[in-house]
């Protein structure tokens, strides 16, 4: 799975003019399931994000996790993170999971993140979404489970 994590002061997602998910201080997690992913992959990514120390401590160092700050997460599906831009001008998305698998893993990931104690809200899989955020820092982190060894 691939995830683009942004530390936010606030974030929300709208579908057809209606806010369907939001968070205050915490994380905006844009997530994409790849063809080779499974539930164990989603669980590893969720655990990693719950423990990722990207929030400042009293000394101003990034040493606290979303759990440590009692923050929340807005999880939004984004298959375009699978973009292959190695040739031509039009990205290819063949490495992304098919929609049924992608939706299952997206939901599983959000549930797994919540099981670690992070309050989670989500967008709507496959919908045309408008995402608003106030990036804090800015801090933006890229995670790819294909590049992260299993523990």
Architecture, CATH, for domain 2-147: 3-Layer(bba) Sandwich (3.50)
pLDDT reading at 59 higher than 60: yes
Residue 78 falls in the annotated catalytic set: yes
Q: How far apart are CA 105 and CA 53, in angstroms?
A: 24
8 Å CB contact between 7 and 52: no
CA-CA distances (angstroms) from residue 76 to 57, 58, 60, 111? 27, 30, 29, 13
Residue 80 falls in the annotated catalytic set: yes
Predicted TM-score (pTM) of this structure: 0.94
pLDDT reading at 136 higher than 80: yes
Beta bridge partners of 62: 56
Q: Region 17-46: what's the mean pLDDT?
A: 97
Cβ neighbourhood burial of 85 (10 Å; 0-12, 13-18, 19+): exposed
pLDDT reading at 151 higher than 60: no
| pLDDT on residue 115 | 98
> What pLDDT band is residue 112 in, cutting at 50, 70 and 90?
very high
pLDDT tens digit string along 64-111?
A: 999 999 999 999 999 999 999 999 899 999 999 999 999 999 999 999
Q: Given 6, 23, 41, 78, which residue is catalytic?
A: 78
Q: How far apart are CA 4 and CA 138, in angstroms?
A: 13
Residue 122 falls in the annotated catalytic set: no
Percent of the chain having pLDDT more than 90?
94
Q: Given 9, 80, 140, 148, which residue is catalytic?
A: 80
Q: Where are the domains of the chain?
A: 2-147
Q: Given 23, 79, 109, 122, which residue is catalytic?
A: 79
> What pLDDT band is residue 148 in, cutting at 50, 70 and 90?
low
């Amino acid at each position: 799975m691939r995830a683009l994590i942004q530390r936010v002061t606030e974030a929300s997602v709208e579908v057809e003019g209606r806010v369907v998910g939001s968070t205050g201080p915490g994380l905006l997690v844009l997530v994409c399931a790849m063809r080779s992913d499974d539930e164990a992959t989603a669980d590893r990514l969720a655990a990693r994000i719950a423990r990722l120390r990207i929030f400042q401590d009293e000394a101003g160092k990034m040493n606290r996790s979303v759990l440590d700050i009692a923050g929340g997460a807005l999880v939004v599906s984004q298959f375009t993170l699978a973009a292959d831009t190695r040739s031509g001008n039009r990205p290819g998305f063949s490495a992304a999971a098919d929609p049924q698998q992608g939706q299952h893993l997206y939901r599983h990931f959000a549930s797994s993140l919540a099981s670690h104690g992070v309050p989670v809200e989500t967008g709507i899989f496959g919908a045309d979404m408008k995402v608003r955020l106030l990036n804090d820092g800015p801090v933006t982190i890229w995670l790819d489970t294909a590049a992260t060894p299993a523990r």
